[in-house]
Structure formats: C-alpha cells, structure tokens
C-alpha cells in the first residue's frame, strides 16, 4: 500500500518506489512529505504561500534549485514525474540516514536534526542569535513552551501519512 497513491499517476508511484529503494527510505514517508509540502496537490508548480520563493513537491528554495543545477522556474515547469529526479538528487546525500518519517521531513526543513531524538529543539524563542526562526515557526509550538521540537515540527506530516494511508487515498 502506498500512501497518497490514488492522488498520483502510476509512473509517479513507480518512480517514488524506485527512489525509495535507492535512498533506503520508506516510500510512504516520501509521499507524506510531498503531500504536506504540496498541500496534497503533488503539483510541481505549487508555490510557497508565504512567498519564500519555494516551489514544487518538496518546496525547493531558489538556492537549493541552483545547487541542484536548475532553477525554481524550470522546476515549476516540469512534470511531477520529472521533478522527482530532483527530489531524489536532493535526498541522495542523505541516503541510508532517513530511518523515520521525522528524519525524512527534517531533510527538507532542518537537516541538522536528522538522526536526533524527537525532543531535539529546532527553534527556541529565547535564542538571541536567531529570534526570527521561532517567530516564523511559532504555529508549530503545540505546547506553547517557547521551544519547537523535532516531534512538534513533524506532527502535521505524520497526520498526512495517516490520512494518505486511508483507503480513499492509498493505492495497492
């Protein structure tokens, strides 16, 4: 069963399953992250609502697109299946290290947290060097303690995984 498999084409599903083997990651984790990042559209052209310039299946930032040898505009113009080549290229340096849904999502949001425990703090309200990081992510501080942990950050992605595995969304 593939999470969100009914929302994408067979070539897309096949490509994700192939990528997951190469990357050593559960394909459901990739699908949940892409569902979250694309607002369940799996659209290669979807833009970040906050205006960051990020685009696509995993919300590639312009600088990330450039590092991968492309541009945000080129990514947005690709088919979803073609954009998966860049998703795979992005994750490849982390192959074999993405053992949990949270780690797959951290590869997208905050790579330094890969492999860290779920209570690892990503953003702290009292961080004098980076006060905006907490402010920009305050909605993720579910217990309102002024610290945003890896688990809190990935909670909405975990909900996308659960939703994606429901019969009306998953494919066999």
CATH number, domain of 68, equals 1.10.530
Rounded to an integer, what distance in angstroms lies between the CA atom of residue 123 and that of residue 47? Answer: 24
Domain assignment of residue 17, yes or no: yes
Q: Which is nearest to 37 in space by CA: 90, 92, 94, 99?
A: 90
pLDDT in tens, 72-115: 999 999 999 999 999 999 999 999 999 999 999 999 999 999 99
Domain assignment of residue 144, yes or no: yes
Domain assignment of residue 172, yes or no: no
Domain assignment of residue 169, yes or no: no
The predicted pLDDT at position 131 comes to 82
The predicted pLDDT at position 53 comes to 84
Domain assignment of residue 171, yes or no: no
Domain assignment of residue 18, yes or no: yes
The predicted pLDDT at position 143 comes to 93
Domain region containing 93? 5-164
Counting as low any pLDDT under 70, the low residues of the chain are none
Rounded to an integer, what distance in angstroms lies between the CA atom of residue 30 and that of residue 46? Answer: 17
3-state secondary structure of 126: coil
């Amino acid at each position: 069963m593939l999470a969100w498999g009914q929302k994408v084409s067979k070539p897309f599903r096949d490509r994700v399953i192939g990528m997951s083997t190469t990357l050593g990651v559960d394909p459901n984790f990739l699908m949940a992250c892409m569902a979250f990042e694309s607002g369940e559209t799996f659209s290669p052209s979807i833009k970040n609502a906050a205006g960051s310039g990020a685009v696509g299946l995993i919300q590639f930032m312009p600088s990330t697109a450039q590092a991968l040898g492309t541009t945000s505009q080129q990514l947005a113009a690709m088919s979803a299946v073609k954009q998966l080549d860049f998703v795979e290229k992005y994750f490849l340096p982390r192959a074999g290290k993405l053992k949990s849904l949270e780690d797959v999502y951290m590869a997208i949001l905050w790579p330094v947290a890969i492999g860290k425990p779920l209570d690892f703090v990503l953003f702290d309200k009292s961080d004098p060097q980076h006060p905006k990081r907490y402010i920009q992510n305050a909605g993720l501080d579910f217990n309102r303690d002024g610290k945003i942990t890896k688990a809190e950050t990935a909670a909405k992605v975990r909900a996308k995984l659960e939703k994606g595995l429901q019969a009306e969304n998953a494919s066999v």
